[in-house]
Amino acid sequence: MKIEDIKEAKELVLPNRNPGIALDLSWLTHQRVNRTATERRINDLAGRRTVKKQWQAAWLLRALTCIDLTTLDGGDTSTNVTRLCAKARFPLRADLVAALGMSSHSVASVCVYPSLVEIACSSLDGSGIPVASVAAGFPDGLTKLDHRLGEVVEAKTSGAAEIDIVIGRHWVLSADWYGLYQEVQAFRQAAGHTKLKVILGTGNLGNLTNVSKASLVAMMAGADFIKTSTGKEAINATLPVSLVMLRAIRHYYEQTGFPVGFKAAGGIRRAKDALMYLMLVHEELGKDWLSKKYFRIGASGLLIDLSRQLEHCITGRYSSDRRHPMG
């Protein structure tokens, strides 16, 4: 991938959003994930995948355009949300954009709590950048279903174009796949035409086989994206977990023809880590998945390191963090 590929990139032409299918438990009976083999695959990726010079700049830019720029702090205010939206509009300094020969570049979305959606929408008006909102009892998913569905409707009504809902992990831990399927279907119905990202909370699911099964059930129920984590768990996005989820997406696509997106979230703060996720997606799903339509990184601190690395690609020197927009 070169910078020219970023300029002329076209969206993947695939069927409309995943409509879901009837729950098929026979798919789940064959799911067995070998952790050792999974980790060996990831170690192999880390040992042989590097990009340099203009190719590295192109990959870094692609990572930037796939960021869901996020603030989910208990101290969030209208001021810091407005500031974050300004960074979403102009994530790179103007001199770097000019040096790369790019037009204006923006992130994929801005993600906030439901109560701050209207402020984010107002701040991003005219930019074309969608607002995403967490909902459904985020981050634990342990409130009553009616309340969680109400949060989804509230976020949608306030203007959110994308909603990140969190499942009740107890469905997975008790192997109640029908319960999980019904819950995600209810969220899908409440979201309507709004894009639905289903957070699995993989750090709480016990093992990789559960991750694979939960991924498949969420997609059967109509998820547009499956997402690793809330960012609040002790263990968030990891490459082994992501590999399992990506292979579930590939299996679902091969069986149904419906594409589902993938979002890695939590703990991704360094440019080289973002590149590893991009490369894994490229190898497992192909280059057509390498766009904001089907791949996202949920992050706040990643933006600054991407900016620093892009400046290094241009000048050969690293600058101070304070010279770059902070996520």
309-318: pLDDT as tens digits = 998 888 877 7
Mean pLDDT of the region 51-76? 88
Q: Is the pLDDT of residue 10 over 90?
A: no
250-254 long-range contacts, Cβ below 8 Å, gap at least 24? 250/284, 250/285, 251/27, 251/216, 252/216, 252/219, 252/220, 253/285
What is the rounded CA–CA span in Å between residue 60 and residue 281?
Answer: 14
Supply the pLDDT for residue 7: 45
**What is the rounded CA–CA span in Å between residue 65 and residue 207?**
31
pLDDT over 80 at 239, yes or no = yes
- Tell me which amino acid residue 208 is: L
Read off the pLDDT band of 27 (50, 70, 90). very high
pLDDT of residue 30: 86
Catalytic residue numbers?
A: 164, 227, 263
Quickly state the pLDDT bin for 127 (edges 50, 70, 90).
Answer: very high
User: How many other CB atoms sit within 10 Å of the CB of residue 8?
Assistant: 7
Residue type, 241: V
Which two tokens mark 102?
């790019």
* Lookup: tokens for 113: 């709590």
Residue appearing with tokens 């497992």: 284
What is the identity of the amino acid at 268? I
Q: What does the longest C-alpha to C-alpha distance in the chain come to?
A: 55
Whether the per-residue pLDDT at 112 is higher than 90: the answer is yes
| Model confidence at 12: pLDDT above 50 | no
pLDDT of residue 3: 47
For 133, phi and psi rounded to 5 degrees?
-135, 140
Rounded-to-integer distance, Cα 193 and Cα 115, Å: 20
Token pair 């959003």: residue: 17
Q: Are 1 and 55 in contact (CB under 8 A)?
A: yes
**Cα gap 19→270, rounded to integer Å:** 35
| Res 321: pLDDT | 63
The answer to whether residues 262 and 295 touch, using CB atoms and an 8 Å cutoff, is: yes
Residue 104, pLDDT above cutoff 80? no
Q: What is the pLDDT of residue 93?
A: 85
pLDDT confidence tier of residue 17, bands split at 50, 70 and 90: confident
Q: Which residue has the higher pLDDT, 301 or 230?
A: 230
What percent of the chain is predicted at pLDDT more than 90? Answer: 75
SS3 139: coil
Residue 325 has what pLDDT? 60
Question: Which is more confident, 325 or 140?
Answer: 140
For position 223, what pLDDT does the model report?
98
Q: For residues 241 and 280, give the distance between their C-alpha atoms in angstroms, rounded to a whole number.
A: 11
Counted residue by residue, the chain has a size of: 327
Domain topology for 3-323: TIM Barrel (3.20.20)
Tens of pLDDT, residues 280-291: 999 999 999 999
Q: Which residue has the higher pLDDT, 270 or 325?
A: 270
**For 162, which DSSP code?**
E
Dump strand ranges (E) for the chain.
Answer: 67-70, 109-112, 131-135, 162-166, 195-199, 225-227, 261-265, 295-299
Is the pLDDT assigned to residue 2 strictly greater than 80? Answer: no
pLDDT at 9 > cutoff 50: no
Average pLDDT over residues 244-251: 97
3-state secondary structure of 49: coil
pLDDT interval class at 47 (50, 70, 90): low
- Give me the pLDDT at residue 320, please: 67
Q: Angle at which helices 239-256 and 35-48 pack, to 10 degrees?
A: 100
Each domain of the chain, given as residue ranges in start order, spans: 3-323
User: 162-166 and 195-199 as β-strands: parallel, antiparallel, unpaired?
Assistant: parallel
Q: Say whether pTM exceeds 0.85.
A: yes
Average pLDDT score over residue span 218-247: 96
pLDDT surpassing 70 at residue 13: no
